[in-house]
Every structure is written in C-alpha cells, then in structure tokens.
Structure 1
C-alpha cells in the first residue's frame, strides 16, 4: 500500500511539473506577450479602421519604422493610413517577407517574436535594407541579399588602443549568467582581433553587464516577459542590459531564452554591429524561446569590415 501511495505521489509531482512547464512556455507565447495584440489585426490593410491599429503604429514607431512628426496623419487613431502601409512594407523588406503592406500571417508571426530592444531604423536610416537587390524571374520580383551586416550611424567603433576590453557584472546579476556571458566573449575573441577579460573592478571596466526591469533609467524601458529581451549600446558606451523579467536559461530550454545567445547578439552591438537581415546571423533582431544560436559568417565578416581586420 505504501508503495502505491509513493507512486501516486511521484506521478502527481511529475504531472504538476509538466503542467508548470507548459504554463511557462505558454506565458511566452503570443497570447501573453506584449506583442499579442497583433493576432487580432491579422489581415488588416490600408483604408481599414480596426480597434488596436494604434498599437501597431506604436510598435512600428518603437522600432524605427514610423514617424508621424510634421504630418497631418494621426498616430493615435485606428486608421490604417498610407504612412502605416509604407512603414509595414519597409518592415517586410527588412525581414525578407513578401512586400505587400498587408498585415498578413507571416508578418504577424515575425512581429510577434521576442527581440532585441534596439530599433532597426535609427534617425530614418533603413539600415537593414543595406545591400539588397531586386531579382526578376519570369515577371515576378523579389529581393536577394548580397550584403548583410550593418553598422550604427557614423560607424562608431573602439579605438585601436582599446582592442583589449574588460567587462564586469553589476550587483544583482544572476550567478548562472557569468559562464554563458564569458563563453560569448570568448566566441567573439576567437573570431576577431579583440581580447576580453573579466574584472571585479566595476569602475575600471570597459563593459558592464546587468539585469534590469521596466524603466531602469536609461530611456529604454523593458516591457515584461516575452517582448524585448535585452539591449546594449554602440561603442564606446559599454552598457549591456538583460531584461530581468524574462525566463532565462543556460542552453536550450522550452519557454526560456538562452543567456549565451543573447549575450552574443548584444556583444555584437557593443563592438559596433547593428542588426542584420540574415536570419541565421546572431545580429538578426528576433529570437525564439528554446533556441540557441552562434556566430554566423555574416557576423564575422561584418566586424572585420568595420575594423578593417
């Protein structure tokens, strides 16, 4: 009898664990994400007025695609206007989607993914479009990527006297993040002329890593689980922030984001790379829970081009 009670208790624990894992994974799905509003807008196009379109406008404004300044159009209404259509077409171009200006299923799926918090377009420069050329086949046309990596405006980079960079973890950093971040720095070191070392002297560190929540004082607030994951700054700022409210993991784990994968991406920003339109590149802006990625040839070519290395 005792063995049956133990077996039932063990089964119950396993069932509870599986349910909790399922709930955790669901919490990062579209339904719970701050980007989940996109689902009921699928199929919207120019000329329509649908409740929630103003949220779509805010999304595209946040990531650099839309700016209603000095126009007669209204950013705060639910009209799918010409400016919104143009912004959506630019987004579709940058993410290698069919350029229709319609919020179709594939566009919603891409926009719903968690991502780096940095905007794709800065000061009106559509940087992710760099190097795409139109290719025609039997009357149809599409864009083929021939150049991929991009840089921040002005091409900021570390001076030649700073090719060895030290990094430090600020108070409150998760203990399990130290090793994945170290591996990410090692991966960049193995493919560039940079070297990196961990220091506990925060005041002397070139780069600082921390976990932050919500509005953390840098003008780029985080937005809770499942939306923007992390951000970092162009050289020579040296700040790298994870969103502390995300579910993080070491390696691939269902419903969680890999600490090392996001570190690789954000270190790319710290070194001077902006976002890439190559989906396999670590500098591609979006990430899925449970995935891991490493450096791509596009990333390596980009950093070597920036530093003439």
Structure 2
C-alpha cells in the first residue's frame, strides 16, 4: 500500500486534540457577588455599616443565620426587623462566631481579614451548619478512636440515607445549558463515582439511554427550577441534594476545565467528587484537606478522598 502522508497528519492531529485539557470559557468573571465582603473588614457588633444586609443574606444562605423563622421565639418580630438592615446585631455576631468556629479560626465575632478571605472563596452551595444526632456523635467518637483522628465530617439534618436495599445507584445527565460535551462529562463523572465506590458499599452505573437515573447531573444557569438559583461566576460553584433526591447541578457560568492551568479555572472532577458525597448523605467537613470541605480554590485539583471523607461515609452506613 502506498504511503499517504495525509493519514499520518490526521492521526497526529487527533492525538493532539485528545491530549489537550478541555477548558470552557463562560461569562466574564468581573462582577463577583462575594466582592461586597471586602468593604466589611473590621466590622463588629454595635456598628451600622452599609452592606451588612448582604452579609446577613450570605450567612443565612449557608446555614448560620435565621431571622424570625422560629415560631416559638418570642423575639420573632424584633428579629425580622433586623433581617434586612445594616446593623451588626447580636444574632449577626453569633453567626460570625459560629462561622469562625466551624472553620477553625480565632472566634471573635469580628469580621477580621482571615474571616473575610475565607468567605470570599468560591464554594459549594450546600449550607454548612449540620447537626449530628447524639447516637451518631457517639459513633463518630468510636471512629475517631479507631483511626486516631478527630472527626470533622457531618450529615444532613435527620441523617437521610439511601436504603439498605439500594446499593447500586444509576446516574444520567440532563442540562439546561451546554458547557462541555457529554463524553467529557461522562468520563469525569465515571472517575468521580469510582472514588466513592472504592471506599463504600455502593456501585454506580450510567442509566440506559433515555432513562432517568437515581442521580441526575447537569449544568444550569441562575434559577433552574430547584429553588436554589446559582449566582453567577466565582461564587457558588455547584450544589447537590441529600438522599434520595439525587440532583447534582453545576453552575454553568463558571470557567470549568478538566485540568486547570490558572487561577480562573475550576476543576470539573474535583467538584464532582465533592457533590457526590452530598448525594450519598454527607454534609460538609471542616478538615481543610477533606473532599467535603465547603470552599474550593480555583486553579487547584482536589480529587482524592481523605481519611475524614472515608470515615464519614462508613459511619453513616455502618
């Protein structure tokens, strides 16, 4: 057969395309909504500072603040009055202190630079404050003795889990926004599911074509029908729901990549591993090395489960 140089060139170009990391450039990353925090550094109880109402919304969104939602609270009306103003009141100070405690910072109730920097990091949209039951707390203590660690993992309220008979979970894809090709997403998610499969009793398999899986994964902009709208680039990266809802949503406005090379790109697989943890029933961990830590720095790759993640999933299903 005669040598055909065009075939060789075509094969080389195909190999080159396969080896190049896929990056998706979305909207301009200038108006980041967490930027309002810059102007609040140093604020403390007793002050009235423009922009504190936005901080209250932030802390309420992520589970630290609750104005007027407790019907047994005799101060409900007084609390509601403060929900949308710019006063640094007692409830706001308590919320800041709780945030600082969760993130292992110096607990002062003051918006110091460390607290502001932590709050400004892009993060998962699932709220942070999750309380374990007494029974599960004692189980965590047994786990900590076994692994010689201090457990930092948490669970959703009520500890929702997949039933014992449901160990094989299927997943499918449905997006309202086109961000990456389906083959890329399949590959990313297959690897992410495998990490949890290797440390738990679960197995994962893509649902047959046209079927809806136990878990549905997709990209969406802004409001997308689940009552938890995304907030544009650089803020909430993704969110997922506790068992057995099985929804995992990426924010389509982020600058996603399969292999980040700069500080504007977010790793698809790292975020997938985190959100799958939520789908299985894990809340956030306050071990900064854990996959389930809430914040995530763009430009980094964080795909490997750590001891706290593994202890958490085994404690939940033991």
TM-score normalised by structure 1 residue count: 0.81
Q: Which residue of structure 1 aligns with residue 34 of structure 2? A: 35
Which structure carries more relative contact order (alpha carbon 8 Å, separation 6+)? Answer: 2
**Aligned equivalent of 1:269, options 262, 272, 278:** 278
Name stretches of at least 5 consecutive residues in structure 2 with no aligned partner. Answer: 1-22, 69-75, 142-148
2:283 is aligned with 1:279: no
Q: Which residue of structure 1 aligns with residue 245 of structure 2? A: 237
Q: Which residue of structure 2 aligns with residue 196 of structure 1? A: 204
How many residues of Structure 1 are paired with residues of Structure 2 in the alignment?
269
SS of the residue aligned with 1:210? strand
**1:96-132 residue CA offsets vs partner (Å, 9 max, x unmatched):** 111000000000000000000011126xx489xx799
**Aligned equivalent of 1:260, options 269, 286, 295:** 269
Q: Which residue of structure 1 aligns with residue 170 of structure 2? A: 166
| 1:173–1:210 CA contact under 8 A, matched in 2 | no
Q: Which residue of structure 2 aligns with residue 147 of structure 1? A: 151
Q: Which residue of structure 1 aligns with residue 316 of structure 2? A: 306
Q: Distance in 1 between matches of 2:216 and 2:34?
A: 29
**Aligned equivalent of 1:208, options 212, 216, 230:** 216
> Structure 1 pair 213/81, CA: closer, same or farther in 2 (3 Å)?
same
Q: Which residue of structure 2 aligns with residue 16 of structure 1? A: none
> Structure 1 pair 239/292, CA: closer, same or farther in 2 (3 Å)?
same
**1:186-230 residue CA offsets vs partner (Å, 9 max, x unmatched):** 111111111111124353411110101101011000000000010
| 1:234–1:271 CA contact under 8 A, matched in 2 | yes
Report the aligned-residue RMSD: 2.5
| 2:132–2:155 CA contact under 8 A, matched in 1 | no
Q: Summarize the alignment of residues 1-309 of structure 1 with structure 2, pairs less than 5 Å apart.
A: 32-69=31-68, 70-73=76-79, 74-121=82-129, 125=131, 146-171=150-175, 172=178, 174-175=180-181, 176-254=184-262, 255-293=264-302, 294-308=304-318
Q: CA deviation at 1:277?
A: 0.9
Q: CA deviation at 1:148?
A: 1.1
TM-score normalised by structure 2 residue count: 0.79
| 1:42–1:108 CA contact under 8 A, matched in 2 | yes
